[in-house]
Amino acid sequence: MKHITALAPLLILIATVGFAQTPGNIEAAEYDPTENRWFISNGTSLLETSNGGVSYSYFGTATATHGMEVVDGMLIAIGNNIVRAYDLESGDALGALSISGASFLNGMGSRSGEVIVSDFSTGRIHRVLIADPANMSSEVLVSTTGTTPNGVVIDEANNRAIIVNWGNNASILAADLDSGELTTLVNGSGIGNLDGIDMDADGNFYVSSWSPARITKYSNDFSTSEVAVQGAGSGLANPADISYATQTDTLGVANSGNGTPSFHYFGDTSELIETPSFMESVQWDGRQLTLACQQAGLWYGTAFDLAGKKLNEFQISLPGAPTQVGIDRIGWSQTTPCIWTFISPSGTQHSIKPGLRQL
């Protein structure tokens, strides 16, 4: 195992991978400690990586456009204003809930049995009961925050949901999980457009902001703060949802400004593993494709029969890492002998005959 030694002792960006999409198509990152993997929203679909962005695969047919939480053996995800539950092992859909009156469900925090969800447009904070995922129900915890609420995390030790808010000089609020009573923790943070929030094992909070593009670390009582991530080379660009992996002391950030998730390590730098290199390629193993390009962005593909007639075409946005893609996802089949051609984000053309050999 090859290791690298850091020059900066506090923080290292250990992996930066990207999706060349329009801003907003990557909005959420969530860590799954049961499998030591990350979930990353990718448009309306959902990717997973178990190696810090070295390679990706799809998490079944799961949908996620905004907040996600791993809780009670499930992934709870907001997809186009619907709260959905997925089994963590199989990826199977377990249930879905459309909240009456919801306008723009965005951030989410969790504890066993429930998730707390912000409505960016109405200012409401909803409680969703998830113990029976096939029959989830909701209630309004806070009728209006008086702000534009965004990221949410549950501070279970203090029985509160911490809510960060959009806007200039945005404030940070707490909602009592029993009464819904609001408390202002930071009255004007001095930074703007707060988006995501999570906490580490010591009870410190990490908050993402757009103005400036920064991760700010707050103490548990919000009496002190410090800049945790900022500046050229940090990978931050309109950082949206964030997730802190206490198991590995790594903060995952979904950067909506450049469609690029970044991973920031706060633990022992001697344990950092160098990201392996790979060659651009298109591979077919008889079941699925693996598309690999150092450059993130759109792949274009076309299927032709052996006489040269076009059968199908597709485009798909992928990270700058090897990503497994099932042919069902791109609407192709092997019923007719064919040749597949692909143009990668780098502009290179690749051709394969599925089941035969790569050309």
Q: What is the DSSP letter of 276?
A: P
Q: Which of 2-6, 147-151, 232-236, 299-303 has the highest mean pLDDT?
A: 147-151
Residue 359, pLDDT > 60, answer: no
Instruction: Considering only residues 285 and 219, tell me which one the structure prediction assigns the higher pLDDT.
Output: 219
Residues near 240 by beta carbon (within 8 Å), at least 6 away in sequence: 26, 27, 28, 195, 196, 208, 253, 254, 255, 256
Buried b (16+ CB within 10 A) or exposed e, 186-214: beebebebbbbbbbbeeebbbbbbbeebb
- For residues 112 and 56, is the Cβ–Cβ distance under 8 A? no
Per-residue confidence (pLDDT) for residue 272, from 0 to 100: 44
pTM: 0.84
DSSP, collapsed to helix, strand or coil, labels residue 135 as: helix
AA identity, residue 322: P
AA identity, residue 26: I
- 10 Å CB burial of residue 232 (0-12, 13-18, 19+) is exposed
All domains in the chain, ordered by first residue? 12-271 (2.120.10.30), 281-358 (2.60.40)
- For residues 79 and 42, is the Cβ–Cβ distance under 8 A? no
10 Å Cβ neighbour count for 349?
A: 10
Residue 130, pLDDT > 80, answer: yes
Tens of pLDDT, residues 243-254: 999 999 999 999
Q: What is the mean pLDDT of residues 243-272?
A: 83
Q: What is the DSSP letter of 77?
A: E
Tens of pLDDT, residues 177-234: 999 999 999 999 999 999 999 999 999 999 999 999 999 999 999 999 999 999 878 9
Per-residue confidence (pLDDT) for residue 182, from 0 to 100: 98
- CA 73, CA 85: separation in Å to the nearest integer? 10
Residue 23, pLDDT > 60, answer: no
- For residues 21 and 255, is the Cβ–Cβ distance under 8 A? no
Per-residue confidence (pLDDT) for residue 6, from 0 to 100: 29
